[in-house]
Amino acid sequence: MLRAVAACALAISALSLSSAHAQSTPPLRIAAAADLQPLLPPILEQFQHATGIRAETTYQASAALTAQIQNGAPFDVFLSADLSYPKRLIEVGVATGSSASPTIPITYARGTLVLWTRTDSKWPKPSLATLSDPHLQRLAIANPERAPYGRAAVAALTSLKLIDSLKSKLVTAENISQAAQFAETGNADAGLISLTSAKTAHLQSAGSYFIIPGNLYPTIEQGAAIIANSKHSQYSHRFLDFLLSAPIQQQLATSGLTPVR
């Protein structure tokens, strides 16, 4: 019995030391595009459970995060909503791709643009016809100069030859999360938002979405990069490997992103 008590005490001590070490280790700092805000937190919890590495995340428009990283913001990993922003950071030497291809951003998923409306709106079931309906007075999109989903929205409206008629009706949000908020709260009649936002529980209960045909806008390839001056590059690589693993890729699919593996 004494041996059992001693073994138990040692196990508790080891667990306490492990927990203390995890708490004392600086977290992995992730700069993430706003479309990831609904789905990334549980993935980070799983990553911490699997590796003991905790992470802290800042969610903003990809362009805003790029500017912060270029100005020396202390991030370790950048998860963009497209490839152009991590590519820009790699080209100026601020970030790198994978160990095998350090000059190329890591594509971790592909995004989908949708049109979302509230259930109590004039269009309980949105469609492409909603965009040309004269009753549509305010259409929320993310800032196309700062957010890839905003650029996709403008491209889709241009393909549909609706950009001129809708230009005065666009309600421009800072990022895709805010665009979804505008549509949900009634500050816009509808929103061109990400599928990841539309598939959140509160948006699914409050409204419905229509998937914008993919041939109307360029493919939204979401890319990642590791910040060059990161002191936790080993952890960064482990996280990106985890993000690209089959179970997590399937989880991304459930949340509205198209897996790349």
pLDDT tens readout for residues 155-194: 999 999 999 999 999 999 999 999 999 999 999 999 999 9
Altogether, the residues listed in the chain come to a count of 261
> Residues 106, 149: one domain?
no
Q: Is residue 199 part of a domain?
A: yes
Q: Is residue 174 part of a domain?
A: yes
- Domains in the chain, number: 2
Q: What is the model's pTM?
A: 0.87
Q: Is residue 260 part of a domain?
A: no
Q: How far apart are CA 200 and CA 207, in angstroms?
A: 11
Q: What is the pLDDT of residue 3?
A: 52
- Which single residue is written with the structure tokens 């306490």? 16
Within 10 angstroms of residue 151's Cβ, the number of other Cβ atoms is 21
Give me Rg for the CA atoms of the chain: 21
Q: Is residue 232 part of a domain?
A: yes
> Residues 105, 119: one domain?
no
> Residues 166, 48: one domain?
no
Q: How far apart are CA 146 and CA 210, in angstroms?
A: 24
pLDDT in tens, the chain (261 residues): 445 444 444 444 443 434 444 455 789 999 999 999 999 999 999 999 999 999 999 999 999 999 999 999 999 999 999 999 999 999 999 999 998 899 999 999 999 999 999 999 887 799 999 999 999 999 999 999 999 999 999 999 999 999 999 999 999 999 999 999 999 999 999 999 999 999 999 999 999 999 999 999 999 999 999 999 998 999 999 999 999 999 999 999 999 999 998
Asked if 112 and 217 count as a contact pair (C-beta separation under 8 A), the reply is no
Q: What is the pLDDT of residue 250?
A: 96
* 19 sits in which H/E element: helix 2-24
> Residues 145, 96: one domain?
no
Burial 187-201 (b: 16+ CB within 10 A, else e): ebbbbbbbbbbbbbe
Token pair belonging to 142 = 């993310």
- Provide the residue type at 124 as one letter: P
Q: Is residue 9 part of a domain?
A: no
CATH label of the domain that carries residue 39: 3.40.190.10
Which among 189, 174, 110, 184 is positioned nearest to 142, based on CA atoms?
A: 174
Q: What is the pLDDT of residue 192?
A: 98
pLDDT tens readout for residues 76-98: 999 999 999 999 999 999 999 99
> Residues 145, 165: one domain?
yes
> Residues 204, 182: one domain?
yes
Q: Is residue 35 part of a domain?
A: yes
Q: Is residue 4 part of a domain?
A: no
Domain ranges, residue 227 = 26-110+219-255
Q: Is residue 134 part of a domain?
A: yes
Q: How far apart are CA 81 and CA 20, in angstroms?
A: 35
Which among 242, 222, 256, 239 is positioned nearest to 109, based on CA atoms?
A: 222
> Residues 72, 92: one domain?
yes
